[in-house]
Amino acid sequence: MKALKVGLLGIGTVGSGVFTVLTRNQEEIVRRTGRGIEICMVADLDTARATAVVGNAAQVVNDARAVIANPEIDVVIELIGGYGIAKALVLEAIAAGKHVVTANKALLAVHGDEIFAAAAKARNGQGVMVLFEAAVAGGIPIIKTLREGLTANRIQWVAGIINGTTNFILSEMRDKGLDFATVLKEAQHLGYAEADPTFDIEGIDAAHKATLMSAMAFGIPVQFDKAYVEGITKLDAEDIKYAEQLGYRIKLLGISKRVDAGIELRVHPTLIPTKRLIANVEGAMNAVMVQGDAVGTTLYYGKGAGSEPTASAVVADLVDIARMTGHASQATPALAFQPSSVSALPILPIELVVTSFYLRMRVADEAGVLAKVTGILAEQGISIDAVIQKEAKDGENQTDLIILTHDCLEGKVGMALRQVEALSSVIGSVVKIRKEELA
Catalog residues that contact ligand HSE under the rule CB under 6 A: 138, 163-165, 200, 205, 304-305
- The dihedrals phi and psi of 271, each to the nearest 5 degrees, come to -80, 130
Min dist CB 165 to ligand HSE, Å, is 3
- The secondary structure of residue 273, as a DSSP letter, is E
Q: How far apart are CA 218 and CA 156, in angstroms?
A: 8
Cβ proximity to ligand HSE: between 34 and 138 the closer is 138
Of the pair 44, 205, the CB lying nearest ligand HSE is at 205
Residue 145 or 163 with smaller CB distance to ligand HSE:
163
Short-list 161, 159, 163, 202, CA closest to 180: 202
In the complex, least distance from residue 371 CB atom to ligand HSE, rounded to whole angstroms: 52
Q: Which is nearer to ligand HSE, 163 or 312 (CB)?
A: 163
CA distance 229 to 297: 25
Q: Closer CB to ligand HSE, residue 196 or residue 436? A: 196
**Catalytic one of 87, 98, 105, 209:** 209
Nearest Cα to Cα of residue 2 among 326, 414, 419, 379 = 326
If the CB atoms of residues 67 and 187 are measured against ligand HSE, the closer one turns out to be 187
Angle made by CA atoms 162, 167, 170, in degrees to the nearest 5? 150
Q: Give the shortest CB-167-to-ligand HSE separation in angstroms.
A: 8
The pairing of strands 130-131 and 99-102 is parallel
Task: Mark 164-182 as b/e (b = at least 16 C-beta within 10 Å).
Answer: bbbbbbbbbbbeeebebee
Provide the minimum distance between the beta carbon of 90 and ligand HSE in the complex, in angstroms, as a whole number.
18
> Cβ 145 to ligand HSE, closest distance in Å?
17
Query: 34 or 231: whose CB is closer to ligand HSE?
Result: 231
Pairing of strands 426-435, 408-409: unpaired
Task: Find the shortest distance in angstroms from Cβ 85 to ligand HSE.
Answer: 19
**Cα 405 from chain centroid?**
30
**Separation between Cα atoms, residue 337 and residue 208, nearest integer Å:** 33
Report in angstroms how near the CB of residue 304 gets to ligand HSE at its nearest. 5
If 0-12 CB within 10 Å is exposed, 13-18 middle and 19+ buried, where does residue 144 land?
middle
What does the radius of gyration of the chain's CA atoms come to, in whole angstroms? 27
The reply to whether 209 belongs to the active site is yes
Cβ atoms within 10 Å, residue 229: 19
- In this structure, the chain runs to a length of 439
**Complete edge-to-edge strand list for the sheet that includes strand 248-259:** 228-229, 262-273, 248-259, 155-161, 285-292, 296-303
Q: Tell me the catalytic residues.
A: 209
